[in-house]
Structures are given as C-alpha cells and as structure tokens.
C-alpha cells in the first residue's frame, strides 16, 4: 500500500514537473525579440554580413514624427535575404508582430509559421507585409518612404 502510494505521488509529481517545464520552455520561446535601432534620411543601410542562413533580425526605425516602425530581415536556407514589416496584413490590428523560431517567422497573434523563403505567400489571410529592399553585396538598402508608407500598421 505504501509502495503504491509513493509510486502514485511520484507519478503525479513527475507530470506536474513536465507541465511546468513545458510552460517555462514555451514562455522562453515566445519572448519578444530584441530590436536593433537604425536610422537614415535618404536611405537605411544595414550590413548583412552577420546575418546567417535561417536567421532573422528585428529592426526599428523612427520616422520624422517619432513613430517606431518595425521590420524584419531574414536570410533563408539558400542564402537569400528577405524583408518584411513586423506586422501582417490581417493581424496587424492586434500590434503583436512576429517572433523567429528555427528559420521561421511566427505570428504572435494567430500562431501561423512561415519559412523565410515563402513568407510572402503567407497562410490564409495572415501574410507578412513585404518590405522592398535593394541588396548590395553585404548590405541592404531600404527607403524610409517604404517604411513610412505602412505607418498605419503600427
């Protein structure tokens, strides 16, 4: 009797421990990204030599009105650089944006996941808003006007 009771207690304790560990891992995975501040009047130039394959970096740009406009640069598994605003066409009204996870963008509102090389296609109505960029060797050039054009998403 005592042996079976301690076995049941251990089993219940182990299940609770697994649940707590799962919640802790999920909360770490859903942590907000760190944004790198960038600026520029005529253009925003960002070096991409430190952007690895399947890696995403988050950036913020303040326009002349002081509004923070957030965007993402990611290099897919083939080495191509992609850019999107930190907002999607549907979920932007919730002002949640994205996180990155193992070469994917993940919408923090609806949970849809996008491979970097296919993020322009999206899923259902949740589609990352593409940001036009000019790739120049190990740098990316972004026009502030392209960021400001979508100010309403933030």
DSSP string, 1-41: -HHHHHHHHHHHHHHHHHHHHHHHHHHHHTPPPPEEEE--S
Report the helix count and the strand count for the chain, using DSSP H and E: 2, 11
Question: What is the reported pTM?
Answer: 0.76
Coil, strand or helix: which one is 111? coil
**pLDDT of 19 over the 90 cut:** no
100 neighbors 113 (Cβ within 8 angstroms): no
Average the pLDDT over 55-78 and give the result. Answer: 92
Q: Give the C-alpha separation, 127 to 121, whole Å.
A: 6
93-106 burial string, b = 16+ CB within 10 Å, else e? eeebbbbbeebbbb
Mean pLDDT of 17-44: 68
Task: Specify the pLDDT at position 21.
Answer: 43
What's the CATH fold of domain 35-153? Rieske Iron-sulfur Protein (2.102.10)
Helix (H) or strand (E) holding 81: strand 81-88
Residue 98: predicted pLDDT: 92
């Amino acid at each position: 009797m005592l042996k079976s009771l301690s076995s049941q207690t251990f089993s219940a304790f182990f299940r609770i421990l697994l649940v707590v560990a799962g919640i802790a891992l999920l909360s770490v995975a859903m942590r907000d990204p760190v944004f790198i501040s960038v600026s520029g009047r005529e253009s925003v130039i960002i070096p991409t030599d430190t952007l690895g394959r399947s890696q995403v970096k988050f950036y913020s740009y303040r326009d002349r009105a002081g509004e923070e406009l957030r965007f993402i640069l990611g290099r897919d598994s083939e080495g191509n650089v992609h850019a999107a605003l930190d907002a999607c066409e549907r979920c932007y009204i919730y002002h949640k944006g994205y996180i990155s996870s193992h070469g994917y963008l993940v919408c923090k509102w609806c949970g849809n996941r996008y491979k970097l090389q296919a993020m322009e296609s999206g899923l259902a109505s949740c589609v990352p808003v593409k940001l036009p960029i000019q790739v120049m060797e190990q740098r990316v050039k972004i026009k502030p006007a392209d960021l400001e054009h979508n100010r309403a998403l933030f």
